[in-house]
Amino acid sequence: MAETDRVIIVGAGHGGGAVAATLRQYGFKGAITVIGTEPLAPYQRPPLSKAWLKGEADAASLALRPPAFYAKANIDLRLATTVTAIDPGAKTVTTDAGDTIGYDWLILATGARARRLPIPGMELAGVLELRSAADADQLKAALGPGKRLAVVGGGYIGLEAAASATALGAIVTVIERENRVLARVASVELSEAYQVAHRRRGVVIELSAQVAALEGVDGRITGVRLGDGRLIACDVALVGVGAVANIELAQAAGIACDLGITVDLAARTSDPSVFAIGDCTWRPLPHYGRDFRLESVPNALEQARQAAASICGRALAAPEVPWFWSDQFDLKLQIVGLNFGATHTVVRGDPATESFAVFHLTDDNRLRAVEAVNMADAFMAGRLLIAKNRELAPAQICDMSVAMKDLTV
């Protein structure tokens, strides 16, 4: 790192904002330019489906940093601007504002976009997705007492939005293609508990349900047509069926990509001057011996620290065990780890009480993941135990008289 070094960060989301701040925290003295397509300075996306939707958060509380921070930290924030091309040979990026800007280090924090369903009616008014604050504003405006919300996709975003909308008095139906919600991201035990919890609080859940089309009148949605012919009438539909990494810019520049931009544990891409962080990356998972794409704030922040440390010549922190959280109704879900290699599960606590944890173990009883609902100590113990990769006694895990803390010593 030289004092004249120039860093360009493509993407002004959680990762882009965090890496700019972390570079300054680590003593980077050179120029930092953050270029983002959205008109807003970096903000937190997790509250969009929760506190923001319920009107419990304002723009200021959503912001990653207060507006004055960027000028004070000498960070050039270029918003409502899109990078259209990277020239890795000349080390420049070109923007849709017509600028060509040179870099010594480039950090791609391009995120992911909502997957679109190849069905008729996606263009109707009232068919929404939820990735950005603008999306959340549209959804918020459409919700209220008695409004009917159809959620296509029973993933985290869909379920969080369903919970928030229910709290606002809306009538919610979740439509899921698989035979359980959270099918792609959670265990059967957790899926079942969340189905029960949502139904208990008034959400209708349709499982194994194909969506044939979104139907409307005068260009505005009126219902979701299922594969079996039934119509779920609605005033607004939220489509949350996963996300696709924004890798096109990197691909066009000849940077190696898989399902995301391929990076190492220093967040470096195949081009040694280019880093990538967050949802857009295809990254190693050292605790699991494989590569994967993670969609989470902790992942974006870990990689922001990796990229900043690499640029500033600092030692890298030990790799984190991936973790996630989701707040729905009064259920606080905390997940640590991924169940790669797990062959059996042990449940601590009783799911019926809405305070329990599912431990995912390998054949030889090493912990791979913990899904904890209103059981923070199981989550925290899991973080330590997965990293330790030590053999555990399943009987002790389910024994509520054994403190979680005692399993970690």
Partner 1 sequence: MPQVTFIEHNGTAHTVQAVIGKSLMEAAVDNAVPGIDADCGGACACATCHVFVAPEWEAKTGTRNEAEVAMLNFAAEVKPNSRLSCQIEITAAHDGLVVHMPDGQH
Q: How far apart are CA 272 and CA 282, in angstroms?
A: 16
Query: How big is the chain, counted in residues?
Result: 409
Report, in Å, the least distance between residue 36 CB and partner 1.
Answer: 19
348: contact with partner 1 by CB under 8 A: no
User: In Å, how far are 18, 327, 361, 386, 406 from 381, measured between CA atoms?
Assistant: 27, 20, 14, 9, 9
Based on CB atoms, which residue is closest to partner 1, 21 or 170?
Answer: 21
Based on CB atoms, which residue is closest to partner 1, 62 or 108?
Answer: 62
Report, in Å, the least distance between residue 325 CB and partner 1.
Answer: 4
For residue 342, the Cα-to-chain-centroid distance in whole angstroms is 23
Spell out, one character per residue from 48 to 67, where the chain touches partner 1: x when CB under 8 A holds, - when not: -------------x---xx-
376: contact with partner 1 by CB under 8 A: yes
Q: How far apart are CA 328 and CA 49, in angstroms?
A: 9
388: contact with partner 1 by CB under 8 A: no
Q: How far apart are CA 72 and CA 218, in angstroms?
A: 50
233: contact with partner 1 by CB under 8 A: no
Report, in Å, the least distance between residue 409 CB and partner 1.
Answer: 11
Q: How far apart are CA 130 and CA 275, in angstroms?
A: 27
CB neighbours of residue 336 within 10 Å: 27
Report, in Å, the least distance between residue 41 CB and partner 1.
Answer: 13
Show Cβ contacts of residue 288 under 8 Å, excluding neighbours closer than 6 positions. Answer: 338, 340, 341, 368
Residue linked to tokens 């135990």: 385
Pair of tokens at residue 82: 């899109």
Alpha carbons within 13 angstroms on the beta-carbon side of residue 326 total: 24
312: contact with partner 1 by CB under 8 A: no
Among 71, 256, 317, 393, which residue sits at the site for partner 1 (rule: CB under 8 A)? 317
Among 19, 301, 346, 361, which residue sits at the site for partner 1 (rule: CB under 8 A)? 301
Among 86, 112, 151, 375, which residue sits at the site for partner 1 (rule: CB under 8 A)? 375
Which candidate, 121, 272, 132, 141, places its Cα nearest to that of 211?
Answer: 121
Among 325, 341, 396, 402, which residue sits at the site for partner 1 (rule: CB under 8 A)? 325
Show Cβ contacts of residue 119 under 8 Å, excluding neighbours closer than 6 positions. Answer: 211, 212, 213, 214
Report, in Å, the least distance between residue 396 CB and partner 1.
Answer: 17
405: contact with partner 1 by CB under 8 A: yes
The one segment of 149-157, 217-225, 277-285, 323-331 that binds partner 1 by CB under 8 A: 323-331
Report, in Å, the least distance between residue 9 CB and partner 1.
Answer: 17
Secondary structure of 219-245 as H, E, C letters: CEEEEEEECCCCEEECCEEEECCCEEE
Spell out, one character per residue from 80 to 119, where the chain touches partner 1: x when CB under 8 A holds, - when not: ----------------------------------------
Kindly list the residues in this chain that would bind partner 1 in the complex (CB under 8 A): 21, 24-25, 44, 46-47, 61, 65-66, 69, 73, 297-298, 301, 305, 317, 323, 325, 327, 332, 334, 375-377, 380-381, 383-384, 404-405, 408
